[in-house]
Every structure is written in structure tokens, then in C-alpha cells.
Structure 1
Amino acid sequence: MSGVEVERRDGAVWITINRPERRNAYDLDMARAMIAAVEDAADAEAVVLTGAGGAFCAGGALNNLGTPDPEGLRQLFTTSLRLVDALRACPRPVIAAVDGAAAGGGNELVVACDFAIATQRSTFGQTGPKVGSAPVLGATNLMSVQIGEKRAREMAMLCRRYSAEQALAMGLVNEVVPDDGLEAAVERWLAEIHQLSPRYLEIAKISANQWWNLSKDNMSSGLGMLIQAIGSEDMIEGANAFLEKRRPDFRGARSAREDER
């Protein structure tokens, strides 16, 4: 099982990330499956990206960062860039249907989607510097255009969590609905899209990608820095702390390793 379910419903393609035991964090195969599903949806009216089991997505899986495989991580990182780019390049509107936590790379998927609808219990935020990484695929660049530079830096650098209502006020999501009303709200948006011209929706989306296109070089350079930092002391400490459910001690871990030398 890939952990990604794809279903066509009345002209829309629904892509469901289905690994709830790890809050729908995706691995390399799942990222590739999502890319294929988005690219195969070019003939649909719209795409809906959602998560199963009470979470949206926790980004890339961290289970192998504590003992990193450089080539495997390189592939996961570069494929993550392909994933967010596929969402933006898709000629059809893409809706993030968020129920639960959108964290780390999952929050960046929300940034990459054209629209986002969230339940009241949903939360949003980045995890990068807290887990020995950095959110270079949307949160450090394009998100500033969506919610403002100061707030985007706060989210990307300080790793705070925000409620659905806060995300709505910032402009990260378009609508907040009751916890049992997400699917009905998405269907309402899809019905509105159904009344519009696919040809001119595509033109509008491509034209609206100006800031995304300007951010892509920055994403590539940031990704290159992440790849060069694979296996760093901060990455290992952050990943191990996350997996062990403890607070990371980046400075203490670094001092301990220096003493061992």
C-alpha cells in the first residue's frame, strides 16, 4: 500500500494521504504517488488534497533522520520540491482540505495549493528549526506573499502553532468550517468551480503563479543547503529528540560532541 489513495468523484480528483499512525508524514514512494496523481488529474475539473485519520500532513517522514541515509534523503528532499511544484503546475484548481494538523512540509503543501479549507480543530505551523531542518519549500519564501513577511518569518523560524481561525485571519486558508462539515464545504467549492471555464481558470492560475515562479530558484538553493547539511549534528539531535518525544538540546549536543573530540 502506497499510503496515498486516489479517487475520482464527479469530475474532481481526491488525493488522500493515508498514514495516520505517523500523522500522514510522507515517504519517498508516497511523494511520488502524489506527484503522479496530480499530474494525471490534468483532465479533471479540480484536485482535492486531504489527509486521513484526523491529520492533514506532517511533511516528510523523520524516522530516518537520526541515522541519515544521504542518498535516500536527497531523493526525498528533491521529490518534495517536485511535489509542491506539481501542485502549482497542475492546470486545475487544487484545494487543500485540512482536518487536523498541517505541520512542517504539510503546512507548505497548504501554501502550495490554490485554496485551503480547514476544520475548526485544525492547526498550522512549521517544524524546521525545531527538528534540525528548515522549511525552504514555501514557508521561507512564498508564504511571505500570502500572510506577510513578519508573520511568515515568525511561523518559519519560531515554529509556533496557529489555530484554524488564526490561519484564516492571516490569509493562509480561505474558510474555516465545523469539524463535521469539511467534505460538504469542499463540495460547495467544487460546485462553484464546475460553473467556470476550465480554459480561463487555467490561464488565471498560470498568471497567478508569478510569485511562485520567482521563488523557485530560492527553493532550489535552499534545498541544496539542506542536502549539504544531511548528517549534521543539529539534524541528528533534532530528529532523535522528535522521535524520542523530548525537547531538543542543540547547543548541549554540540558541546558534548566537541568534548568527545
Structure 2
Amino acid sequence: MRSVADGETEVMVRVLVVDDEELVRAALRAVLGSAPDIEAAACDGPEAVALARRTAPDVVLLDVNMPGEDGFSVLRELRALPEPPPVAMLTLMGSDEYLDAALRFGACGYLLKDTEPHLLIDCVHILARGGVVYVPPQSRAVMGVRVSDPLPAPVPAPAPAGLRDLLTRREQEVLALLSAGLTNTEMAEHLGVGMTTVKTHIGSLKRKLGAPSRVALAAIAHREGLMEPLSAPARRKTVSPPEAAR
């Protein structure tokens, strides 16, 4: 992932694009290759796992709908590798069903194929740093959340009114800030509280919402319209997804 230039270490991000259509592969490689710190390779579904073993990509962009071996089957195989790469699913039209499957099988991202080129490059950088980017249609991105294990089941989605009644005002603030990609330290600074307090709120959110991870919490916040903090800090650029019909 690193090369040396002018005596300094330059970080290069290796991306593997997996799609059954050659034209799509070529287009995505061209977009990603326009970034000076991204190297992109491409293949179709049946070649993906073997190529990932050989090249150890930093990020995999994986088409959801492919003939023969579908994208989620490939995702499961990639996640079973000794050192699985971060995988973002690519789709033409988003759906809650696909989003649930992406979460359940351990994808670190869910992106629309018509995402603007500069946003796609930004998303790749976030994924390479260990972040998460979910850009379903007509929503904002869920960025910067660390990934651990794949979720064992789809994330529960409480009704909006019930969710707001269940959470305290401060818990809603923490959930919104977490979903915007802030770290525990950044949330503590923004809210003017200690790190222990932030961790306590996150633990309480996981228990109340039945969420096993920060990724699951972020997905719930997206679904229930809690993406915007009550007083948002100006520290992280957000991504507005392209419009897409369901």
C-alpha cells in the first residue's frame, strides 16, 4: 500500500473492481485511476476471490447483480479470507433488502453506480482508512464508522416515533454524531463531556436498539432520519448521494 517518493512515504490505495460488464469495469478503473494515489484493477465475479488472494487489495468494489455467482456470494467468500479486504457493494438501484444484506454479510459500504466520480474517490479513501460508507438512495452517507465483524442478522428498524421516545435527547445527539462519522474523542469534545460518558451512551444505545456494533447504530440512524445532529460540528465533509429512483 505504500511507495516511496522524494524520500517520503506516499500511501497508495489498491482497489479491485468486480463487475460482470467490461464497460463498467473500464469506466470505474478510469475514474479511480484519475486519483494520483489510487491503483485500480478489475475482474468479473468468478475471478474475484483468487485475484484478491494474489493482490491483497485495500478496497474491493463489488457489483451486487452478476450472472452466475451473485455479488453477495462473492462477498461471503471475500469475508472468509484470512485477511478480508473492505468491500463496498455497487448497485444501480438501491433497496432496503440489498442494504440489509450488505450489513448482514459484512460489507463496509453500499454505493450507487452513478455516484459522482469525485465522491466515489472520496468513498474509496474512507474505506481504505477503515471507515464505512453507505449511500442508499435519497439519504446522506454514513461515513467514518469502524467495522469489526459482520452482523449476524439484519439491523432492527424501530418506528420513528417509538425510537425517539425510547432514547434520551443526549442519546439522540450521540447517535447522530456517531452516524456522521465522529470518533469518540470528537463526540466528547463537541458535547463537552468526558470519553467515559460518550462510551456509556454508546453502550446504552446498543442495548436499547439491539445493535451489535457502531455500523448497526449508524444504519438505524439513517433509516429513522437521525442523521443530522441537533447542533452539527463543522469538522467533516458529508456526501450527498445522487438521486435515484427506487
Fold agreement, TM-score > 0.5 = no
The structure showing larger relative contact order (alpha-carbon pairs under 8 Å, at least 6 residues apart) is 1
Could you say which structure has the higher helix fraction?
A: 1
TM-score by length of 2: 0.30
In the superposition, the TM-score normalised over structure 1's length comes to 0.28
